[in-house]
Amino acid sequence: MPPPDAVFEVAGQRTRPVCRTRWILSSRGVHHIGSGGTVAYPRIAVTFTDHDATPAVPPTPARAIRTFHPRRGRMTARQTDALDRLFPTYGLDVPDGPGDAADLTALFGRRAPVVLEIGSGMGDTTAAMAGADPDRDYLAVEVHTPGIANLLDLVQRHDLRNVRVARGDALELVRRLPVGSLDAVHVFFPDPWPKARHHKRRLIQPAHVALLGSRLTPGGTLHCATDWAEYAEAMRETLDADPDLVNLHGGYAPRPAHRPVTKFERRALLAGRPVTDLIYRRR
């Protein structure tokens, strides 16, 4: 059985950072799964965390709800070429399930503050921000292959040494990152999932925010932007409620000059949807 001081993690609810020796309660009873092990029970109810053992990758919730639609997209010849040539050097695949913890120092070949951009789309923002900020490393994560390929092409065209591109589910990637390892997390124009029955697919929701916050270093920032007014309100409510985060502007942030205007944002503005930024600091 887990020790009396074990920390409980309830699937789908707020989780605490630092997952070490793990215990799992399933319909088949309580199991000790050690560190670095993996879990594939069909009905995970509760996990227990004992803070005394070695770091491990927290278990992925069974049958996780995806925040994205798998999309097919045509690639240009240039993107196909960039993907083939550059992904082996600048890319990493996020395992869709159990896998090893990510080693950011090995990934970038140096120890520098790391910015994670979730849902980097075509990569214009990542490329522009990384180019203007060479002392930090930028890890973009996306599921849309043409976007990944486009960013790799930009990386080569602009000779960016501080960018890496992860292919796969951002939440799976974040679970594999060490606690306190990120200087910033950027979530720009996440899919708004406007229908109420789809809100459970939104990236910004309490359990995901707790996970992201746990990977930020104290003082690190979480920066979100959206053109969807109702999502902006919901984001603000969720982020304000997180005990580990402080709203740097007490409300919506003034548009920061360092966030480039993308085609996506231009389209929103043309359609009359104002863009909102929210910036929080990890306590």
Ligand X SMILES: C[S@@+](CC[C@H](N)C(=O)[O-])C[C@H]1O[C@@H](n2cnc3c(N)ncnc32)[C@H](O)[C@@H]1O
Question: Which stretches of the chain bind ligand X, using CB under 6 A?
Answer: 67-68, 119-121, 125, 141-144, 147, 169-171, 188-191, 203, 262, 264
Catalytic residue among 81, 183, 191, 240: 191
Which residue's entry shows tokens 């060479």? Answer: 134
Which residue's entry shows tokens 């690190």? Answer: 220
Cβ proximity to ligand X, 19 vs 116, nearer residue:
116
Q: Is 227 marked as a binding-site residue?
A: yes
In sequence order, which residues have a C-beta less than 8 Å from that of residue 224 and are 6 or more positions away? 186, 187, 188, 190, 204, 235, 239, 277, 278, 279
Q: Is 200 marked as a binding-site residue?
A: no
Q: Are 252 and 277 in contact (CB under 8 A)?
A: yes
Tell me if residue 100 is catalytic: no
Cβ proximity to ligand X, 41 vs 68, nearer residue:
68
Tokens of 218: 């104290």
d(CA 3, CA 1): 7
Q: Is 145 marked as a binding-site residue?
A: no
Which residue's entry shows tokens 């879990």? Answer: 39
- Backbone dihedral angles phi then psi of residue 181, each to the nearest 5 degrees: -95, -5
Name the region of 180 (left: φ>0; alpha: ψ -120 to 50; beta: rest): left
In the complex, minimum distance from the CB of residue 155 to ligand X, in angstroms, rounded to a whole number: 16
Looking at the chain, how many residues does it have?
A: 283
In the complex, minimum distance from the CB of residue 63 to ligand X, in angstroms, rounded to a whole number: 15
Would you say the C-alpha torsion 249, 251, 256, 259 has a positive or negative sign? positive
Q: Is 265 marked as a binding-site residue?
A: yes
Q: Are 199 and 193 in contact (CB under 8 A)?
A: yes
Q: Is 195 marked as a binding-site residue?
A: yes
d(CA 107, CA 160): 14
Cβ proximity to ligand X, 114 vs 203, nearer residue:
203
CA-nearest of 212, 267, 269 to 235 is 212
Cβ proximity to ligand X, 188 vs 280, nearer residue:
188
Q: Is 263 marked as a binding-site residue?
A: yes
Q: Is 49 marked as a binding-site residue?
A: no
* 3-state class (DSSP) for residue 94: coil
Cβ proximity to ligand X, 144 vs 176, nearer residue:
144
Cβ proximity to ligand X, 59 vs 146, nearer residue:
146
Q: Give the count of beta carbons closer than 10 Å to the beta carbon of residue 161.
A: 13
Binding positions for S-adenosyl-L-methionine = 117, 142, 169, 191
Binding positions = 117, 142, 169, 191, 195, 227, 262-265
Residues belonging to the active site:
191
Binding positions for substrate = 195, 227, 262-265
